[in-house]
Amino acid sequence: MSKSRNIVLGAVLAAGVTGPVLAGPLGLGRPATPDEIAAWDTDVRPDGTGLPDGEGDVWTGEELFEANCAVCHGDFAEGVDNWPQLAGGFGTLDQDDPVKTVGSYWPYLSTTWDYIYRSMPYGNAQSLEPVDVYALVAYILYSNDLVDDDFVLSRDNFLDVEMPNAGGFRVDDRAETEYPLWRGEPCMENCKDAVTVTMRAAVLDVTPDDGAE
Amino acid sequence: MSYRTSRRALLKGGMAAGAFAATTGTARAAESDPLITEPQFWAQGFGDGVDATPYGLPIEFESDVIRRNVEWLTADTISSINFTPIHALDGTITPQGCAFERHHSGAIELRKDDYRLMINGLVDKPLVFTYDDLERFPRENHVYFCECAANSGMEWAGAQLNGAQFTHGMIHNMEYTGVPLKTLLTEAGLGAAGDLAGKWVYVEGADASSNGRSIPMEKALEDCLVAFKANGEALRKEHGYPVRLVVPGWEGNMWVKWLRRIEVMDAPVEAREETSKYTDTLADGTSRKWTWVMDAKSVITSPSPQSPITHGGGPLVISGLAWSGHGAITRVDVSKDGGKTWQTARLARPGEKRALTRFYLDTDWDGQEMLLQSRAIDDTGYVQPTKDQLREVRGLNSIYHNNGIQTWLVNPDGKAENVEVS
């Protein structure tokens, strides 16, 4: 967390902690039971917090992938039609049309596990057991050439997997790189010598017909 | 405007006489107007009774003021986007029925009776609330814009979609009624979280996509709202009925709909929607994450490609919207010559914090070509940049957070087109 945001927090707390809203609870709601929390709280964090017991291997994952995932994501996680590509795209992030996949882009393996377990397959989410998800994640790693075909993924070795783009992200830096450039009184008169039209949407002609006059 | 002045303006503008003949709604002064001289049926018979429409829709003549989809943008319509018809709206409040939708696994149907909200994690007492519980907490009312992080995202590489609805319509602005998130966190007790600096809340929806996002504690305590009413009535199904999160000024993805769980944590989850998506790739291949705030932005909604000038030369209202996630809009400038010269527009009302602001430039059109632009300024002194200024810092692959200045080319027959200028 950046220093500037800690300063903001300090100000919020100073203004808010003693306010009437924080004066005390109203006694509304009821305690959540451990079963209820376990049912809904399935998030997994980058450090592995939240991972359940279990393990799964690449070949089990391939079978599950063919049965549950390949119709959209392709047999090799390469994507079908407009559906997301899960593998490949290495070395494309600084190119014109970057291919962002689990292998080329995602910083943490936890996200893959978490997202598949909660929200996939598309249209039949929350139908997979934890062992299924371990196997599917192992297969996706294999599809990205990040593990060998005899790899078995488990909670114990989860953090050993190196994600290629783990270092590819930085916290929002607009406050340093942009805002100072664009503050101050803007030009009102004689701001340019000439203005030329450089691109026209009508030439591309991809707008739905009934949307334009 | 009389026929005579209008005609003079048209001739001055070098327009074909035929353009005027095609104009509708202009009474010809030379002969009497039968809409006035003849009794019309609506002035003689009956209109509808009061029981005809228990909950009304717009009159049929406004049937073009609707949400629209752009099929090629996404693989299917379930995890997809549609667009608010901002080219046809005025003022600032978005009618809920045509306010844009963005779902990741469709608009689910969740009854109030089936609704549950859980608060867990680093709290003194994990809690479950029913919908009725939420209505018993002290309420607040606030107007805020919700702008999709991807609004204008298709325009990074150049002018692509021809209409303000499509280039800027992933936005709506409503008056929300709800309970401050701070109130609910207090109910569960934040003592267990200890020092709140560096703490987070993770919020997720009841739908299959869940749309989980991590929000730093200072924002959760500042102004996030657990909302159950919008523009006076219950949220629409597609906007999160019965309860959504409102995250003022921040990218729309974080406004979790069908909100079912809030977890207090000592670290962010780094969920799919804040790693794979809603991260902004720069030219060197590195990416920004946690780009939460939507910067100051504006667009001229009329004239625009879907809202051409049909009345010829003379008085013209240039109308548009401006907004900033950092605070209030203090000023909007409008250029008619592609940014060579600027005039300060009139704000319909003083800008409100993190809400849409309407601006007008009342002008006299000489019938010549115009390159219309608007430029928003917010109360931090930030001036909306050009697209080229943004590209200079970010490159072309950011996808999200395109708040660059929009240009409409208006030609002498009043039609407008989405263009880019040097």
Domains annotated for chain B, with CATH where assigned, are: 1-56 (no CATH), 77-288 (3.90.420.10), 297-419 (2.60.40.650)
Q: Do A41 and B261 touch (CB under 8 A)?
A: yes
- pTM reported for the whole predicted model: 0.92
B228: tokens are: 């159950």
Share of chain A above pLDDT 90, in %: 83
For residues A32-59, give the mean pLDDT. 98
The yes-or-no verdict on residue B114 having pLDDT over 90 is yes
Write out chain A residues lying below 8 Å of B120, CB-based.
Answer: 32, 37, 40-41
Min distance B314 CA to chain A CA atoms (Å): 22
Min distance A63 CA to chain B CA atoms (Å): 24
**pLDDT at res. B3:** 37
The yes-or-no verdict on residue B223 having pLDDT over 50 is yes
**pLDDT at res. A210:** 60
**pLDDT at res. A4:** 47
Min distance B265 CA to chain A CA atoms (Å): 10
Q: Do B275 and A43 touch (CB under 8 A)?
A: no
Write out chain B residues lying below 8 Å of A206, CB-based.
Answer: 70, 72, 160-161
Contact B212/A at CB under 8 A: yes
**pLDDT at res. B28:** 56
Min distance A157 CA to chain B CA atoms (Å): 19
**pLDDT at res. A202:** 87
For residues B322-336, give the mean pLDDT. 98
* B415 close to A190: Cβ distance less than 8 angstroms: no
Q: Do A45 and B276 touch (CB under 8 A)?
A: no
A interface mutation test: which of B275, B294, B334 has the most A CBs within 10 A? B275
Pick the closest to residue B357 from B384, B337, B335 (CA basis).
Answer: B384
Which are the contacts of B371, defined by CB distance < 8 A and separation ≥ 6?
A: A195, A197, B335, B336, B337, B338, B339, B407, B408, B409, B410, B419, B421
* B313 close to B23: Cβ distance less than 8 angstroms: no
Nearest to B125 among A31, A93, A194 (CB): A31
Task: Tally C-beta pairs within 8 A across A and B.
Answer: 291
E strands, chain A, are 30-31, 55-57, 152-154, 169-171, 197-200
Contact B304/A at CB under 8 A: no
Nearest to A195 among B284, B393, B422 (CB): B422
CATH topology of domain A55-168: Cytochrome Bc1 Complex; Chain D, domain 2 (1.10.760)
Kindly provide the ipTM of the predicted complex, given to two decimals.
0.90
pLDDT tens digits, A167-195: 999 999 999 999 999 999 999 999 999 99
| Look-up of token digits 């450039």 | A181
Nearest residue in chain A measured CA to CA from B139: A21
Pick the closest to residue B162 from B298, B303, B305 (CA basis).
Answer: B305
A interface mutation test: which of B222, B287, B331, B399 has the most A CBs within 10 A? B287
**Local confidence band at B370 (pLDDT 50, 70, 90 cut-offs):** very high
Lowest mean pLDDT among B28-37, B57-66, B141-150, B180-189: B28-37
**Local confidence band at A37 (pLDDT 50, 70, 90 cut-offs):** very high
**pLDDT at res. A209:** 79
Share of chain A above pLDDT 70, in %: 87
3-state DSSP assignment of residue B174: strand
A124: tokens are: 């039949």
Q: Do B128 and A30 touch (CB under 8 A)?
A: yes
Nearest to A172 among B198, B291, B415 (CB): B291
**pLDDT at res. B75:** 87
For residues A160-166, give the mean pLDDT. 97
pLDDT tens digits, B206-220: 999 999 999 999 999
**pLDDT at res. B29:** 66
Lowest mean pLDDT among A61-75, B19-33, B265-279, B388-402: B19-33
Nearest to A192 among B159, B289, B340 (CB): B340
Give CA–CA dist B254/B252, Å, rounded: 5
For residues A15-20, give the mean pLDDT. 43
Pick the closest to residue A123 from B76, B270, B204, B109 (CA basis).
Answer: B76
Give CA–CA dist B352/B354, Å, rounded: 6
Write out chain A residues lying below 8 Å of B224, CB-based.
Answer: none
Write out chain B residues lying below 8 Å of A12, CB-based.
Answer: 218, 221-222
Give CA–CA dist B167/B299, Å, rounded: 9
* B343 close to B374: Cβ distance less than 8 angstroms: no
**Local confidence band at B12 (pLDDT 50, 70, 90 cut-offs):** very low
**Average pLDDT across chain B, whole number:** 94
**Local confidence band at A204 (pLDDT 50, 70, 90 cut-offs):** confident
Residues in a beta bridge with B225: B180, B246
In 10 A of CB B47, how many CB atoms? 6
**Local confidence band at B22 (pLDDT 50, 70, 90 cut-offs):** very low
A interface mutation test: which of B69, B77, B186, B289 has the most A CBs within 10 A? B186
For residues A2-24, give the mean pLDDT. 48
Give CA–CA dist B286/B288, Å, rounded: 7
Nearest residue in chain A measured CA to CA from B409: A197
